[in-house]
Chain A
């Protein structure tokens, strides 16, 4: 029974990823642009009626670059984007994986696994490498799928079967409903081929 739950839970992220295969790239809003940054600063200075010193203190390239980076980074980690990529049950697995990782003795292998995703997001935001989207998707999805697998397997091992069945029944049902209702959810976040 536990194995069946695990296999079903792992199936959903793959079903969700299917719609992402039609994407060409992430939407432009996720990528840093020096030109856009300049426009943001000009916009902010125009709306500023304070002193020049004040305007320089708040509206400068360093502050705006950090804000812009934060904005795009958090947008690419948007919860609904991740659900569209890995399904609700997949994201639940990622959260479980992060939890068990933090509670366990850290090995180098695990550390590398957990570092790849945040790093991939940073590379995507800052550099937007001109590689086929499948590689970008793999760098995002690969580590998260492994983390999700790790999270599910730990959880399934440790929790009482009755509680486990109820929890996964709810998550799987909701994941299925989301998948049927929003089969093309990926298109909100990416440009299509």
Chain B
């Protein structure tokens, strides 16, 4: 009973940290969220994507192809909450919250199985799920429409179901595990590699544990293979375009076949190692504004010594848990390391799971070793953890919406609303292409607005002499001038001008 209350509290904390002010921070939808929203709404209302394709398994979006998992989930969310920011972000919020619970269930089952449930290790599942609940890495991607977060949820559900099979010997759990892992493949590109590798390991372990049940085991392998087949088939056609866009190897330029033999593995190793760099994990992250808050890496700084202690603890026990944790840690950066740029916080999101587990084991190990000093140690660690969490929250809610406003669309929503409001007073609407991604946002916020995208050299044609034209341009340095009818301002402290509306 006490355990249930405790884990419910942890899940409640996780939900609060993911849901509180989710419509306002991050400050606006970024282009992928808008693209997801456009397609999800189109699927909900017409059954087709934005290009008229009925119920696709691959969505053409921006200059990319998107997987369907998050889009269909958002359609369901939009059916309840309408075309809102909340509807786009809620699937991620819920997936992130439930992942915290799944981590608890997974670790509890593992510790029970491996008989590591000594008095103090019993706390490990709570501690690990709590660390995930407050993790900057996981919070960052659970508070916006990031497909990787949904994929991680399906992946963790697959692992949990597999452990239920080992404990209960019910093979329906294996079937559900295969379905869940297959769904992760439909949600984020990295899992096209991670999920099959994990499922192969699951099949191997199941055959070893239940050698007499090989038909049931092979059947679940078939279920997995059949489910992922359409995605694999599509990846070899449209997916190759994505691969060529993001491949790390394209940065090496033209190479002859001998150079490829040594330069490709060298680049892969260099990229792969970058995911274990202290600088990336604890300090700067990948430098992409949408992926972390400035001054913070994906993991808290205080976790570094405890993660190292956790690795030492597990290695010295030579336990099977070690293989699971280090196995996930080893394969998680592989798909990310073959893509550019590297390191990349989003593509390597799966790494957060082994890291919080290692930190929780490390904390308990250090506590056990330093019991005589616990009166000094425990308050000190709690104070440091609490201060860094407060510091992070301060940066997330106060600095981040100011500093990283442009990473989240700037004032595109306000621009679209104003364009819609003024459209009836004008015959034509012209949008300068330098108002970056304005077309994507207008398509989502003002789907019925008719406008033309032009480059900076555009001049009003003579044939439009008698037409009233609304010209939307970036801020080129003139705050007031004849013809400027509205300045769209950013919601930062300085109130910088994001774009201007000209009447010409």
Q: Which residue on chain B has the smallest CB distance to residue A77?
A: B278
Q: Which residue on chain B has the smallest CB distance to residue A102?
A: B312
Encoded as 1 (CB less than 8 Å from any B CB) or 0, chain A from 172 to 188 comes to 00101110111000000
Q: Once A and B bind, how many residue pairs between them come within 8 Å at the CB atom?
A: 75
Asked if A49 and B270 sit within 8 Å, CB to CB, the answer is: no
Asked if B262 and A47 sit within 8 Å, CB to CB, the answer is: no
Asked if B278 and A78 sit within 8 Å, CB to CB, the answer is: yes
Chain A residues whose C-beta falls within 8 Å of the C-beta of B493 in the assembled complex: 46-47, 49
Chain A residues whose C-beta falls within 8 Å of the C-beta of B276 in the assembled complex: 79
Asked if A180 and B266 sit within 8 Å, CB to CB, the answer is: yes
Minimal beta-carbon separation of B312 from chain A (angstroms): 6
User: Which secondary structure dominates chain B's binding surface?
Assistant: helix
In the assembly, what is the distance between CA of A78 and CA of B390, in Å?
A: 27
Interfacial residues of chain B within 282-302, with CB under 8 A of chain A in the complex: 282-284, 295, 301
The CB with the most chain A CB atoms within 10 A, among B263, B399, B403, is that of B399
Chain B residues whose C-beta falls within 8 Å of the C-beta of A48 in the assembled complex: 398-399
The CB with the most chain B CB atoms within 10 A, among A49, A50, A74, is that of A74
Q: A180-B262, A181-B263 are in contact. Are A80 and B398 (CB under 8 A)?
A: no
Minimal beta-carbon separation of B465 from chain A (angstroms): 47
Q: A79-B278, A99-B315 are in contact. Are A177 and B262 (CB under 8 A)?
A: yes
Chain A residues whose C-beta falls within 8 Å of the C-beta of B236 in the assembled complex: none
In the assembly, what is the distance between CA of A35 and CA of B267, in Å?
A: 37
Asked if B269 and A74 sit within 8 Å, CB to CB, the answer is: no
Asked if A47 and B402 sit within 8 Å, CB to CB, the answer is: yes
A47, A77, A99, A178: the one within 8 Å of B266 (CB): A178
The answer, yes or no, to whether A22 is at the interface (CB within 8 Å) is no
Asked if B391 and A63 sit within 8 Å, CB to CB, the answer is: yes
Asked if B269 and A174 sit within 8 Å, CB to CB, the answer is: yes
Q: A47-B399, A177-B262, A181-B263 are in contact. Are A79 and B394 (CB under 8 A)?
A: no
In the assembly, what is the distance between CA of A81 and CA of B260, in Å?
A: 24
3 A-B pairs with least C-beta separation: A181-B266, A74-B278, A177-B266
Taking Cβ atoms with an 8 Å cutoff, the residues of B that contact A are 262-263, 265-267, 269-270, 273-274, 276-279, 282-284, 295, 301, 304, 312, 315-316, 390-391, 394, 398-399, 402-403, 493
* 14 more CB-based (< 8 A) A-B contacts, given A48-B398, A75-B279, A79-B276: A46-B493, A47-B403, A47-B493, A54-B394, A63-B391, A74-B304, A75-B283, A78-B279, A79-B277, A79-B278, A80-B274, A178-B270, A181-B263, A181-B267
